[in-house]
Structure 1
């Protein structure tokens, strides 16, 4: 919970370089509305504390490594923000923000490393009393340059990140609330069709080749339907659970499906959004639907840059703009692949896998259009695709592995 005249102060030096890091505040739990059914939602609380459902929606754009104010990138200047300190001031009131900034300045902190995270009362129900919204702040880091140093940072976060909750002893007589933050525009006049004008024909060619090489008469194939995901403001307005969205990422997902046997698998394919210049990295992740637990990821833009080349005629130059990755129980080396772990008997815990005959889905993410410093616009990219390939059974019965 967060009072309208309170503040959250964070200081955060970053040690090892990473492809991407960001800070973002969220509204995570909102009080249940009367006469609305939340039986299918994740809820917490009781009559004493109030009963809340999860929304987990972002409250604006992220502060990330392309524009954060740090000692090495003062005032958001270009440079390397790693191994340098930053201060993030999270407030819902302009007056409180200024008091914190003045105190930081008096303590010797430069305004050039101060970043504002402004929370609007137009988006959240502020206060500490029963029924008020619950907020949190999330740190995301992806692809450490030095994984060992990154693990040391995460496992000892309190050595690097300090969070202070500040509450004035005397409440402000006059409030000067922040407006709803203006979001970075995502639209440009440049789309992936400008880079790969024959993309549709190429994707149809890939689909035919995938079915021929990975399917055949012993398999059925299903082209999985695709849809996109809401952003923070939209989820707040619709009172929907957004599972910690990030405006730096464009999210696409398949419909739910099931692996019936260990011979079933999924082929993901499409345009590599990094190669086209519309993202700094992109991946596809296999999830269980019930818990929304991601269990394995295909890092499309990081490895096997030529993954689609063998599906096109030799020497075809535009093959570099495409990818093909497999998600399967059995990894045979025929193409870049990730192995889907089981839930039952998983030594790391049941949420680290997905069993057969259990609803699953694939999430696709592409992070940060370099031209806008936020994710690409939804219709400026060519959507990823996925094919579920299922082994036929002679009797038409369920031939599951038992897990």
Structure 2
């Protein structure tokens, strides 16, 4: 009997050690996986996962813009080694040296149709939302190299990811769990990598494939090939310190995997997308929102109020790829609005300077002076409270560098409309927030917009804009439908 019990204990221990590839509290090591890949005839180069600090790169002059960064999220990015025989160019070296990552890696990479990029490691700690997402960054159209920054398909987010805690994407705990993510255009390469992972002890139940749809891409590693980027977007950690630890010391690695011999290609079709929309809208709150608007104008001086225009910020990734325009990295998991009367639609060169595009944001533009009587009221439907979003926020940006200096999330403005509509039971679904240079002690829901801080502030005479995001409807596991949400608003 004792031998029987001991055999069971040893069997459980073996499953814990080999079934997930990572025992509890063990330092992360994907060496067995790498050896299995090399045994199968692949060259394996190790990159890394690291923080891509848009504001720092803009502040130090490495990039001409912060490209509409979301301050709610500290973006992690895959730093990928180049295909064997190629070298990192000087502009990329500036980025990696500034951020302190490996010299021989790049955040913007091309890929042969028979190659793959693989993430092996831990998911973010518990948070409101996270996703892994791939973008086409640059494309050559005619003789012109353009910045496209278009999403390629759906994300692998916290509701669909396959991990130890959510095998086969089932419900469970997706946070701080081991997972494997394969990025490739080829079905045969994916199958070989999966087999190597399983031989190294990773269950197929925790392996995710993100397809690069070669039917719409220029795969390859030559100068006219498309370039890609892979981001991890964690937002609103339950434990802020745990989130900082993850950003600064992520237990994960990234591999570039190249077959040593020519393979017969078996490209994937374009993957099926999750469908936005449930048929349930927020439009029953339109009367309540109008009541809130009147209450705001009654509280402040209506004669000096200017209602700002609102429109969708970006189109979809597939639209950008087909038209050759830049859409600045929208996730399929979100809706985007901003204080402008036009949607982004410009073809732009690589590393484009946002101060040269979209002049309607700057001329005449919106400014925010130091006068105590000058401020902006942001208000609308709390999309998280209605269930149309997992989280929502708005961000104040400098209009020249598109530098987001602060995000105000639904956690910050929840309950803020009840002061204006004390007798309206639907006030809990609305919000009001003030942006000013000086907030009084009575302004509970107010943000003091900083200046004199370079990329981390907005100067008194500098044009600005506001942008909103609403991330992921739980029932569809993707972004809410624009046709079902009430647009947020702002009054100066």
Give the TM-score of the pair, scaled to structure 1: 0.85
CA contact (8 A) 1:298 1:337 kept: no
**2:381 is aligned with 1:271:** yes
Give yes or no for contact 2:435–2:449 (8 Å, CA) kept in 1: yes
Q: 1:132 to 1:70 in 2, by over 3 A?
A: same
Q: Deviations over 1:17-70 (max 9, x none)?
A: 111111011111222533xxxxxxxxxxxxxxxx63321111111101111000
Cα shift at 1:358? 2.3
- The alignment of Structure 1 onto Structure 2 pairs a total of residues equal to 356
Match of 1:209 among 289, 295, 306: 295
Map of 1:190 onto structure 2: 280
Pairs within 5 Å for 1:315-354: 315-332=423-440, 333-342=442-451, 345-346=452-453, 350-354=454-458
2:470 match: 366
Is 1:13 the counterpart of 2:115? The answer is: no
Q: Which residue of 2 aligns with 1:176?
A: 266
Q: Deviations over 1:350-397 (max 9, x none)?
A: 211222332221111111111100011011111111112xxxxxxxxx
Quick one: distance in 2 between partners of 1:68 and 1:272?
Answer: 27
| Counterparts of residues 96-245 of structure 1 (less than 5 Å) | 96-157=189-250, 160-172=251-263, 174-193=264-283, 197=284, 199-216=285-302, 220-228=304-312, 229-245=314-330
CA RMSD in angstroms, aligned pairs only: 1.5
Give the superposition deviation at 1:125: 1.0
CA contact (8 A) 1:368 1:376 kept: yes
Structure 1 residues 176 and 2: alpha-carbon distance in aligned structure 2, compared to 1, 3 A threshold: same
Q: Which has the higher strand share?
A: 1
Structure 2 contact 198–204 (Cα < 8 Å) conserved: yes
Residue of structure 2 in register with 1:400 after alignment: none
* 1:335, distance to aligned residue in structure 2 (A): 4.6
Structure 1: runs of 5 or more not aligned: 35-50, 389-403
Change (3 A) 1:64 1:288: same
The 2-side partners of 1:15 and 1:4 are apart by 30
Structure 2 residue runs of 5 or longer lacking an equivalent are: 1-109, 341-360
Which of residues 369, 388, 392 in structure 2 aligns to 1:282?
392
Query: How much has 1:79 moved relative to structure 2?
Result: 0.5
- Aligned-residue offset at 1:15: 5.3
Secondary structure at the residue paired with 1:250?
Answer: strand
Higher helix share: 2
1:121-141 residue CA offsets vs partner (Å, 9 max, x unmatched)? 123211011111111100001
Distance 1:222 1:171 in 2: 64
